[in-house]
Structure 1
Amino acid sequence: MMSKEKLNRINYLSKKSKAEGLTVEEKEEQKKLRTEYLQNMRQSFKNQISTLTVIDPEGNDVTPDKVKKLRKK
């Protein structure tokens, strides 16, 4: 999970970009922070999916094979 300071920085750079524009250094920083944020979000989503178990109304485990493979990794 990203720190609150990094999230605040992402938001600040976004607002500044819309209001007045960013310097080259700020654009690079923004790109780096966004990439890190997306990696964290994807990993978090994978973790949530890997704990998922799907049970049909008859009580059978019908969890997709892709999810089962994620658990084994």
Structure 2
Amino acid sequence: MEMNELIARINLLYHKRQTEGLTAAEQHEQAELRRQYIDIMKGNVQNQLERIQLVDEPAGYPCDKPDCKYTKN
């Protein structure tokens, strides 16, 4: 399911719950869709964090690499 479809379905079930209530199957579906959404968002954040690169080493903070040009003062 595409992200926009996932969000639309989550919202539809939310509004239905507010107005007329959900069946047990719909409650289960809502929980599953929310879990999928959270897992996707966690994955996106993890990917962004893994792509972060330190551009310039701050003064006084040596890096751990053997070929690092920064040394501990």
1:41-52 to structure 2, matched below 5 A, reads 41-52=41-52
Task: Point out where structure 2 has 5 or more consecutive residues left out of the alignment.
Answer: 62-73
Select the structure of larger CA radius of gyration: 2
Alignment partners' CA distance in 2, 1:53 and 1:5: 33
CA RMSD of aligned residues (A): 2.1
| Structure 2 equivalent of residue 32 of structure 1 | 32
Q: Deviations over 1:13-67 (max 9, x none)?
A: 0111112211101000001101111000000000001111234xxx3176xxxxx
TM-score normalized by the length of structure 2: 0.69
Letter of the 1:6 partner, please give it.
Answer: L
Runs of 4+ in 1 over 6 A off after TM superposition: none
| Larger relative helix fraction | 1
Percentage of pairs with the same residue = 34
How many residue pairs are counted as aligned between the two chains?
Answer: 59
Alignment partners' CA distance in 1, 2:57 and 2:6: 44
TM-score normalized by the length of structure 1: 0.69
Alignment partners' CA distance in 2, 1:10 and 1:52: 31
